[in-house]
Amino acid sequence: MSSNLQLIIRREFISRIRNRTFVIMTFLSPLIAVGMVALIAWLTTLNSDEVKKVVVVDETELFVSDFEDTKEVTYLNYSKVGLETAKDSVISQKLYGLLYIPEKSTNKNLAKSIQFYAEESPNFSVLNRIERIIANKLTEQNYKDEGLNLEVIQKAKAKVNIQIENFSGEKTSKMSNYVKMAFGGLAGYLLMMFIIIYGNMVMRSVIEEKTNRIIEIIISSVKPMQLMLGKILGTSFAGIVQFLVWVLLGGVLLIIATSLFGIDAQPVGVDPSVALEENNPEEIQLLIQDILKLPLLTLVLSFFVYFVGGYFLYSSIYAAIGAAVDSETDSQQFMLPIILPLMLGIYVGFFAVIENPHGTVSTVFSMIPLTSPIVMLMRIPFGVPWWQILISISLLIGSIVFMVWFAGKIYRIGILMYGKKPSYKELFKWLKY
Amino acid sequence: MSNLLEVEEASKRFGNFIALNNVSIKVPKGSIFGLLGPNGAGKTTLIRIINQITLPDTGNVFLDGEPLQSHHIKDIGYLPEERGLYKSMKVGEQALYLAQLKGLSKKEAKERLKYWFDKFDISHWWNKKIQELSKGMAQKVQFIVTVLHRPKLLIFDEPFSGFDPINANVIKDEILQLRDEGATVIFSTHRMESVEELCDHMALIHKSNKILEGKVTDIKKEYKSNTFEVGLLSDNNMELEKVLRDTFQIEPAHFKAIDEQLKLKISLDTKTQPNELLGFLSDKAQVVRFNEVIPSVNEIFIKTITENE
Planar angle of CA B227, B233, B238, nearest 5 degrees:
85
Q: Which residue among B79, B89, B101 sits closest to A221, beta carbon to beta carbon?
A: B101
**For domain B225-293, which architecture applies?**
2-Layer Sandwich (3.30)
ipTM score assigned to the predicted complex: 0.79
Q: How far does B138 lie from chain A, in Å, by closest CA?
A: 12
Determine whether the interchain pair A220/B53 forms a contact, defined as Cβ–Cβ distance below 8 Å.
yes
Residues of A in contact with B97 (CB under 8 A): 7, 11
How many beta-carbon pairs under 8 angstroms link A with B?
60
CB-based contact, A431 to chain B, within 8 Å:
no
Residue A281 is predicted with a pLDDT of 62
Q: What pairing do the DSSP bridges indicate for beta strands B184-188 and B32-36?
A: parallel
Bridge pairing between strands B209-215 and B153-157: unpaired
Name the region of B253 (left: φ>0; alpha: ψ -120 to 50; beta: rest): beta
Chain B residues close to A428, C-beta within 8 Å: none
pLDDT at A254: 74
A20-29, A254-263, A334-343, B244-253, range with the lowest pLDDT: A254-263
> Is A90 in contact with A98 (CB distance < 8 Å)?
yes
Which residues in chain B are classed under CATH 3.30.70?
Answer: 225-293
Identify the CATH assignment for A53-154 out of 2.160.10.10, 3.40.190.10, 2.40.420.20, 3.40.1190.10: 3.40.190.10
Measured between CA atoms, how close is B86 to chain A, in angstroms?
6
Statement: residue A138 has pLDDT above 70: yes
Using DSSP, state whether A432 is helix, strand or coil.
Answer: coil
Taking an 8 Å cut-off on Cβ atoms, the answer to whether B100 and A7 are in contact is yes
pLDDT at A49 exceeding the cut of 70: no
Name the pLDDT band for A262 (thresholds 50, 70, 90). low
Length, in residues, of chain B? 309
Confidence band, pLDDT 50/70/90 cuts, at residue A269 = very low
Average pLDDT, integer, range B235-250:
83
Residues spanned by CATH 3.40.50.300 within chain B? 3-221
Whether residue A131 has pLDDT greater than 60: yes
Q: Using 50, 70 and 90 to split pLDDT, how confident is the model at A274?
A: very low
- Model confidence over A368-409: pLDDT tens digits? 888 988 888 888 888 888 888 899 999 999 999 998 888 888
Smallest CA–CA distance from B13 into chain A, residue: A433
What pLDDT, on the 0 to 100 scale, is given for residue A165? 64
Which of A212, A221, A416 has its CB closest to that of B86? A212
| Residue of A211, A216, A427, A433 to mutate when probing chain B, most B C-beta within 10 A | A216
CA distance A279 to chain B (A): 59
Between A138-152, A160-174, B47-61, the lowest mean confidence (pLDDT) is in A160-174
From B25's Cα to the closest Cα of chain A, the distance in A is 20
A216 touching chain B per CB within 8 A: yes
* Residue A417 forms contact with B (CB below 8 Å): no
- pLDDT tens digits along B195-211: 888 899 999 998 889 98
Over the stretch A323-379, which tens digit does the pLDDT of each residue have?
888 888 888 888 888 889 999 988 888 888 877 888 888 888 889 888 988 888 888
Chain A residues whose beta carbon lies within 8 Å of the beta carbon of residue B147: none
Average pLDDT of chain B to the nearest whole number: 88
Q: Which residues of B touch A427 (CB under 8 A)?
A: none
pLDDT digits (tens, 9 = 90+) for B293-302: 888 888 888 8
- From chain A, pick out residues whose CB is under 8 angstroms from the CB of B101: 4, 7-8, 218, 221-222
Instruction: Quote the pLDDT of residue A308.
Output: 87
Which string of DSSP letters, residue by residue, matches B27-93? EETT-EEEEE--TTSSHHHHHHHHTTSS--SEEEEEETTEEP-GGGGGGEEEE-SS----TTSBHHH
Of B98, B96, B64, B56, nearest to B78 by C-alpha is B98
CA distances from A123 to A253, A266, A342 (A): 33, 21, 35
Whether A361 contacts chain B with CB within 8 A: no
User: Given pLDDT bands bounded at 50, 70 and 90, which one contains residue A275?
Assistant: very low
Contacts of A213 in chain B (CB under 8 A): 82-84
CB of A15 less than 8 A from some CB of B: yes
Give the 3-state secondary structure of B233-280: ECCCHHHHHHHHHHHCEEEECCCCCCCCCEEEEEECCCCCCHHHHHHH
Chain B residues with CB under 8 Å of A223 CB are: 70
CB A323 within 8 A of CB A331: no
Residue among A158, A195, A199 at smallest CA distance from A342: A195
> Quick one: which of A269, A287, A282 has its CA closest to A174?
A287
B136-159 per-position pLDDT tens digit: 888 889 999 999 999 999 999 988
Band of pLDDT at residue B179, cut at 50, 70 and 90: very high
Record: contact A220-B51, CB cut-off 8 A: yes
CA angle B167, B168, B171 (to 5 degrees): 85
Element (H, E) at B129: none
Cα gap A213→B262, rounded to integer Å? 55
pLDDT at position B100, please?
92
A161 lies within 8 A of chain B by CB: no
Nearest to A229 by CA among A1, A430, A8, A413: A8
With residues binned 3-state (H G I as helix, E B as strand, rest as coil), the percentages for chain B, rounded to 5, are 40, 30, 30
Across all residues in chain A, what is the average pLDDT? 81
Query: For the residues A139-157, what does the mean pLDDT come to?
Result: 83
Q: Per-residue pLDDT averaged across B39-50, rounded?
A: 89
Cα angle: A12, vertex A15, A19; to 5 degrees:
140
- For the ranges A160-169, A214-223, A417-426, B26-35, the lowest mean pLDDT is seen at A160-169
- Specify the pLDDT at position A409: 85
Residue A273 has pLDDT above 50, yes or no: no
Residue A14 has pLDDT above 50, yes or no: yes
CATH for B3-221? 3.40.50.300
Provide the CA A2 distance to its chain's centre, in angstroms: 40
Does the distance separating the beta carbons of B87 and A1 come in below 8 Å? no
pLDDT (mean) for A164-177? 62
A396 versus A154: which is more confidently predicted?
A: A396
Task: Name the minimum distance, in Å, from the CA of A393 to any CA of chain B.
Answer: 34
Residue ranges covered by each domain of chain A = 2-29+175-430, 53-154
Chain centroid, CA B2 distance in Å: 20
Q: What is the pLDDT of residues A370-379, one digit of tens each?
A: 898 888 888 8
| pLDDT recorded at residue B297 | 86
Q: pTM score, two decimals?
A: 0.74
Q: In the Cβ-directed half-sphere of B169, how many Cα atoms lie within 13 Å?
A: 2
Which of B101, B108, B157 to mutate to test binding with chain A, by most A CBs within 10 Å of its CB? B101
A198, burial (CB in 10 Å: exposed 0-12, middle 13-18, buried 19+): buried
Q: Could you tell me the pLDDT band of residue A167, with boundaries at 50, 70 and 90?
A: low
